[in-house]
Amino acid sequence: MSVHELNPVGVDVLPDNALERMKHWAAGRPLQVALRHKRRGRWKAWRWVDVLHEVARLGVALQRQGFGPGSRLALSGALEPTAILLALAAQAAGGQVVPVCRRAEGGELRGLLLRLQPSHVFVQSREGVSRWLEAAQELPRELLLFSAQSAARRQGNCRVLPLAALEDDRPVVPLIQPWRAVRLQETVWCEEGSEWREGLGLLLRHWLDSGSGFAFPESSESAARDRRDVAPTALLLSEGRRQALAAEIEQRLAPAGSWSRQVSDWALHGPERGLQRWIAARVRELLGLRRLERLLPGEAAPPLARPAPAWLGERREQAA
């Protein structure tokens, strides 16, 4: 099976009780921050009451664009507030949601479209819109594509609308938060995309079951820097991202075989607990993990080619 394949047709990735749990938190902690996202260099926040309002508003807006029972919304891009709110709105409107790998293109993407038969799609990037337009040229049915990065246009059976087409009923203006305020709160960090098949479903399950605030980077390229802003208390990550994080940790240490690395390895694995704590704390600070308490598990995968440091592995939880 291709790494880009999705759940079978007809399987919705959203938890059945997603809307019920969202309403629970909006009633119980309406002013607590539910989602944070860095946009244009500034941290913006949605409270639970904002989430409730946006999901209801977007659900009605989707219905105006022909979305309802029997419709299927495909999501392609980063897992961040826009995708999350649209997914919940799609469920509120009576439809289904499926993630599509943001890197899929050409024949692979065309095959996914024919198999999944989405009626609507949200594509995050401008490059992604071009790939979808090309892949959708021979679709037997019309596809309505939303993107914040494109103007309205039509190509074959694919009609593109700017995301603003869903914003005619007073969208919530997210709060602007200084990064110092973000660092003072317990936060779950996620820097994943729709290429993680189970990612959206797992994110929604952990978020809606716990009521924790989730935070997301501005882009994949700025993820490490943005993570240092937040200093999250928990991470939701796929096995692939866990390997990337282990490689990032490795890069922060001295080169393998060097005298400095020998000293670091001795300190990390030797009897001097004080040095162990100092080096581990230094690496955590550089990676934005100084407050890290736990890892939320993701997709099962082979073990790391290079073991992650013990302090990282010890925080990995078992799947609920």
Question: What's the confidence (pLDDT) of residue 173?
Answer: 81
Structural tokens at position 145: 């594509």
Task: Note whether 228 and 273 are same-domain residues.
Answer: no
Question: What's the confidence (pLDDT) of residue 179?
Answer: 65
Task: Note whether 219 and 116 are same-domain residues.
Answer: yes
Task: Note whether 253 and 113 are same-domain residues.
Answer: no
pTM: 0.83
Task: Note whether 214 and 260 are same-domain residues.
Answer: no
Contact present, 84 and 35 (Cβ < 8 Å)? yes
- Domain boundary among the residues 186, 213, 236 is at 236
Question: What's the confidence (pLDDT) of residue 218?
Answer: 95
Question: What's the confidence (pLDDT) of residue 256?
Answer: 64
Per residue of the chain (320 residues), give pLDDT as tens: 333 333 444 456 889 999 999 999 999 999 999 999 999 889 999 999 999 999 999 999 999 999 999 999 999 999 999 999 999 999 999 999 999 999 999 999 999 999 999 999 999 998 899 999 999 887 888 999 999 878 889 988 899 999 988 876 677 788 887 767 767 778 999 999 999 989 999 999 999 999 999 999 999 999 989 998 899 999 999 988 888 887 877 776 656 666 555 555 545 555 444 444 544 566 677 788 888 888 886 433 333 233 344 444 444 443 33
Q: 262 lies in which domain range?
A: 239-298
Say if 185 falls within a structural domain: yes
CATH number of the domain where residue 78 is located: 3.40.50.12780
* Total domains present in the chain: 2
CA angle 203, 208, 211 (to 5 degrees): 110
Say if 114 falls within a structural domain: yes
Say if 44 falls within a structural domain: yes
- Domain boundary among the residues 236, 266, 290 is at 236
Structural tokens at position 71: 């419709």
